[in-house]
Amino acid sequence: MTTETIFREYRPSDAERSDRSAGDRLRHREKVRESIRENIADIIAEESIIGKDKDKVIKVPLRGIKEYRFIFGENTPGAAQGDGNAQPGQVVGKAGKDGQGQGEGQAGDRPGVDYYETDVTLEELIEIMFEDLELPNLERRALREIPSDRFAKRKGYRHVGIRVRLDKRRTARQRVMRQMASRKYENAAPADPSAPDAEAEERRFPFRKDDLRYKHLEIDTREESNAAVLCIMDTSGSMDTMKKYLARSFFFLLYQFIATRYRSVEIVFIAHHTEANEVTEEEFFHKGESGGTFISSGYQKALDIIAERYHPSLWNLYAFHCSDGDNFDSDNPAAIRAARELCGVCNLFGYGEIKPLGSRYYESSMLNVFRRLDAPNFQAVLIERKEDIWPSFKAFLSKDRVKE
Amino acid sequence: MANYEISDLAEWDKRIQEKAAAFGLDWYPQEFEICDHTGMLGYMAYSGMPSHYPHWSYGKAYEKLKTLYDYGVNGLPYEMVINSNPAIAYLMRDNTLLLQILTIAHVYGHNDFFKNNFTYKSTRADLTIERFKAHALRVRRYCEDPSIGIDKVERILDAGHALAFQCRRNLAIKKLGREEQVTRLIEAARPRTDPFSRIHARPEFREPDTHKTPIEPDEDVLLFIRDHNPFLAEWERDLLTIVDEETKYFLPMMETKIMNEGWASYWHKRIVESLDLDQGLHLEFIVRHNQVLRPIPGQINPYHLGFKIWEDLHRRHENPTPEEINKYGAPAKSGDEKIFEAREVERDSSFLRRYLTEELMREMDMFQYESRGDELVVDKVSDEEGWKSVKETLIKNVGAGSIPVIKVEDADFGHNRTLYLKHHHDGRDLQLEYAEKTIAFVHRLWGRETVLETTLQGKRSLLCFNDRGFSVRALK
């Protein structure tokens, strides 16, 4: 018995239409993004992203988008085919971390082993991270310096341009002018009367390309509010590797955030121990120093820089300070005075105290000292672990704060 | 570019059909569609269905397939064929003429298997395409319904997919209704007639509980929830029905993967060899055939394993060796009779159990492995002591054997409408992270506390999920 078979030929038009998974792919990608956003605190804690290239690819574990079902765990033996001389005890592979039966090509329509990670570049990650953060309380200050493209202003007319900017009035006038000029010329040389439609010909006087006039617009750049961010970091001897790592991670996030979201915010890096210096970005993130701690020195330096370059009536100022809080007691009054002064000139002054777990019981803390400082734009957080970096960062910058 | 025309394929198809008919294959009318690689990736993501309801997991599947394809990790199949009447097969446009011939012959093998194997009887191949289309329409309608929307639909579908394979394994066995189960329960409770009842103590009569739900443990978890959670909306029930219908359509394919691929490979070989190809085509055939059927060390290639068993089964009934006659008896049927019978009445687990011989296992160097620490280590090989154990392990891992058996024991546990599930432990523990997340899905659908009895590292344990979250309790 044979049957009639139908062959349907390949048609490229069908193939173009056949991208039917587009909707589902989009939905899946949304889920991935969502999952990344939910796990950002962990990702930042796990990855050492400081000073990494923007194109660096980070493997991000995806927790939300596995397709869970009941499966067997690790004590599940499997069977497979050997190469001809399999011996007991021979190692044949790596155990799957998720114990997913290793999916040895059995079980036809069972969805294959899930993949658990996705690659994102640092840039994408930062973009997702900073989606709903911004510099709080950004105000308009007297002089504006940050340029931003605003509406366009009319400025003259040109022969070339795009159609929508065609100035009909001027174009028509150009034509009339040309017509007048040509009539003078024609009068000089009378038309041949034998031509029957000479009159009609004379009346038709089409536009030429030369007649066209376009409005010319100039993009107006308006100066936006200026902002400067002062990053103050304690680099004294008591800041051990772990503390420095936490502080730098925090500042790195801050730096990335500003660089991503604001085109021309100025950033000042200040490193201090007993005395403070303005340093370059490179030095700030990579150099270590030692010595005692005078927190006031850092603040004083910041105040000096502000006085010198960023007058508070013209600039939105943000100061962030990270330290382990192990200040010389004698410096505390000076520190709090300087801090109060900073609060007076800055939109926001944030203090992050780095206390790796446990150490806060035997080290002195500035948190207590700063408690006396009740300025509304002062905020202090405690960073104990890597996991705290993101929440504290968010506490400083989340949009919600502004609403409160 | 392809070295064939559609008319060539039609010509070859005719010749292949003649040969296949002469061999006794019996198939649904066949349709072939030529597609390119994006088309094929699309069909693969949606299990070959021309229309299918939307869900993000298919987008994920597509992305994964495409990544693997783009990086050259995986190639694409030469064909894909779905179980429907008429059967629809997709052929890759870039296949050479020989590959198309091989593939067409292969497709007729699958087609014959779909039409004749007992596991597929419940799939109603006549309605496949329409049914999937209707499912798609319904799901899309729910997504577009302003009172429902895609988020709510996904909530149910995600949970439904998680439980989809917690269903009956053998669809050929009729599921009893409640009354029949009650009758059976009462029958079983009746004391057995005892010829020595005079001298035996009268057995104590235990009244059977006929008010329990379910009467007998129910493996169709999804359907059970659909029928017994009064708080599900009509559209939610419908989504669960859709998921269940699709699973039961795909289950036979899962249950006969090795047989089915082996059968199609076995027949493409016999058909193509009988076609008298010219030398060039024949050489290419040998190369391609061996590529598809090569054993993959450290894995099971279902094409290879199935093919070997079918070939061996045929040979043992045509030219048995004296030892084989000694061991298995003289064959009562011819080779063809035997294989056609087996393709109708077996599925992978029974097929392997009955026809995978010790000799064949040794020839294929089958072994059993287990994980020790981070490594998979060979545990037993197919020698005289080990082969039975290796075979048992293999059988446990094919088809639905790779899915834990979980049954609903009680829908009103502790008179609290707690859903009591029981994992029928067979030596393999559940993966705990997955179990936790999946129970959360059961809880989402059931709406009340859900518990699962299982065994973890030799200890009976109860995994609970309620409004406060997940917890594990040890049982006595």
- The answer to whether residue A142 scores a pLDDT higher than 50 is no
Q: What is the mean pLDDT of chain B?
A: 92
CA distance B296 to chain A (A): 7
Last residue of a domain, one of B269, B286, B303: B286
Same domain membership, residue B449 and residue B437: yes
**Mutation to test the A interface, candidates B428, B437, B450, most A Cβ within 10 Å:** B428
Alpha helices of B329-369 — where are they, by DSSP H?
335-345, 348-355, 358-363
Per the domain annotation, does A231 fall within a domain? Answer: yes
Cβ neighbors of A315 (< 8 A, separation 6 or more) are A141, A226, A227, A228, A306
pLDDT band at A333 (very low <50, low <70, confident <90, very high): confident
Q: Is A257 found in the same domain as A361?
A: yes
Q: Are residues A182 and A123 in the same domain?
A: no
Does residue A98 carry a pLDDT above 70? Answer: no
Q: Per-residue confidence at A42, pLDDT binned at 50, 70, 90?
A: low
* Residue A83 pLDDT exceeds 60: yes
> Is residue B176 assigned to a domain?
no
Among A108-117, B65-74, B457-466, which is the least confidently predicted range? A108-117
Domain's final residue, options B370, B400, B430: B400
Q: What is the 3-state secondary structure (H, E, C) of chain A?
A: CCCCCEEECCCHHHHHHCCCCHHHHHHHHHHHHHHHHHCHHHHHHHCCCCCCCCCCEEEEECCCCCCCCCCECCCCCEEEECCCCCCCCCEEEECCCCCCHHHCCCCCCCCCCCCCEEEEEHHHHHHHHCCCECCCCCCCCCCCCEEEEEEEEEEEEECCCCHHHECHHHHHHHHHHHHHHHHHHHHHCCCCCCCCCHHHHHHCCCCCHHHCCEEEEEEEEEEECEEEEEEEEECCCCCCHHHHHHHHHHHHHHHHHHHHHCCCCEEEEEEECCCEEEECHHHHHHCCCCCCCCHHHHHHHHHHHHHHHCCCCCEEEEEEEEECCCCCHHHHHHHHHHHHHHHHHCCEEEEEEECCCCHHHCCCCHHHHHCCCCCCCEEEEEECCHHHHHHHHHHHHEHHHHHC
Helix (H) or strand (E) holding B312: helix B302-318
Domain final residue, candidates A161, A188, A220: A220
Shared domain check, B315 and B376? yes
Could B59 and A21 be called an inter-chain contact, meaning their C-beta atoms sit closer than 8 Å? Answer: yes
Q: Which residue out of A13, A16, A19, A68 would a mutagenesis test of the B interface target, given it has the greatest number of B Cβ atoms within 10 Å?
A: A68
Show residues of chain B in contact with A9, CB under 8 Å: 6, 34
Out of A159-173, B100-114, B150-164, which region has the weakest mean confidence (pLDDT)?
A159-173
pLDDT of residue A143: 45
Q: What is the pLDDT of residue A402?
A: 43
pLDDT of residue A38: 74
Whether B11 is in a domain gets the answer yes
- Inspect the interface and report whether the beta carbons of B26 and A104 lie closer than 8 Å: no
Residues of chain B with C-beta less than 8 angstroms from the C-beta of A90: 377-378
Reported as a pLDDT band with limits 50, 70 and 90, residue B126 is: very high
Task: Tell me, yes or no, whether A342 and A213 share the same domain.
Answer: no
Residue with tokens 């969502």, as numbered in its chain: A34
Q: Range with the lowest mean pLDDT among A303-312, A382-391, A392-401?
A: A392-401
A211, A249: one domain = no
Within-domain flag for A110: no
For residues A164 and A234, state if they share a domain. Answer: no
CA dist A283 → A138, A273, A350 (Å):
28, 14, 22
- Residue A104's pLDDT is 35
Which of B257, B365, B376 faces A82 most closely, judged by CB atoms? B365
Distance from CA of B261 to the nearest CA of A (A): 10
Asked if residue A291 belongs to a domain, the reply is yes
Residue percentage of chain B with pLDDT more than 90: 71
Instruction: Please indicate whether, in this complex, the C-beta atoms of B375 and A95 are within 8 angstroms of each other.
Output: yes
Q: What is the tens place of the pLDDT at every residue in A185-217?
A: 666 655 555 555 555 555 678 888 888 999 888
- Count the domains in chain B: 3
Residue A89 placed within a domain: no
A305 and A208 in a common domain: no
Same domain membership, residue B430 and residue B357: no
In this model, does residue B190 exceed pLDDT 80? yes
- The residue from A191, A220, A249 where one domain ends is A220
Of A138-147, A275-284, A350-359, B140-149, least confident by mean pLDDT is A138-147
Asked whether residue A361 is domain-assigned, the answer is yes
Same domain, yes or no: A119 and A166 = no
Residue A179 sits in the same domain as residue A51:
no
Predicted pLDDT of residue A196:
54
pLDDT in tens, A43-77: 666 655 555 565 666 666 665 577 889 999 878 88
User: Of B18, B162, B390, which is closest to A79 when you measure between CB atoms?
Assistant: B390
More confident position, A386 or B90: B90
Count of the separate structural domains present in chain A: 3
Residue A233, in any domain of the structure: yes
Whole-number percent of chain A with pLDDT over 70 = 68
Domain residue limits at B447? 402-474
> Band of the pLDDT at B193, cuts 50, 70, 90?
confident
Q: What is the pLDDT of residue B104?
A: 95
Mark whether B271 and B333 lie in a shared domain: no
**Structural domain includes residue B281:** yes
Shared-domain flag, residues A168 and A262: no
Give Cβ neighbours of residue A286 (< 8 Å, ≥ 6 apart): A51
Both tokens of residue A40? 């950002």
Please say if the pLDDT value at position A377 is more than 50: yes
Measured CA to CA, the distance from residue B174 to residue A203 in angstroms comes to 94
Beta-carbon separation of A66 and B6 below 8 A:
no
Domain at A313, CATH number: 3.40.50.410
Q: Is A177 within a domain?
A: yes
- Considering only A291-305, A348-362, B422-436, which range has the smallest mean pLDDT? A348-362
Lowest mean pLDDT segment, chosen from A334-348, B159-173, B211-225, B333-347: A334-348
**pLDDT grade for A99, boundaries at 50, 70 and 90:** very low
Statement to judge: residues A157 and A188 lie in one domain: yes
The pLDDT-based confidence of A371 (bands split at 50, 70, 90) is: confident
Domain span holding position A317: 225-403
What 3-state DSSP class applies to B366?
Answer: strand
Q: Are residues A304 and A337 in the same domain?
A: yes
SS3 for B32? Answer: strand
Q: Is B424 within a domain?
A: yes
**pLDDT confidence band for B22 (50 / 70 / 90):** very high
pLDDT at residue B7 tops 70: yes
pLDDT value for A113: 41
pLDDT bin (cut points 50, 70, 90) of residue B337 is very high
pLDDT of B194: 83
- Residue at which a domain ends, from A198, A220, A242: A220
What count of other Cβ atoms lies within 10 Å of the Cβ of residue B130?
A: 12
- Residue B375: is its pLDDT beyond 90? no
CB pairs under 8 A between A and B: 289
Do A272 and A183 lie in one domain? The reply is no
Residue numbers in A near B28 (CB within 8 A): 3
Residue A83 lies in a domain: no
Q: Is residue B154 part of a domain?
A: no
Top-ranked range on mean pLDDT: pick from A225-234, A244-253, A333-342, B442-451 = B442-451
pLDDT at A246: 82
Q: Are A107 and B402 within 8 A, CB to CB?
A: yes
Residue A110 has what pLDDT? Answer: 33
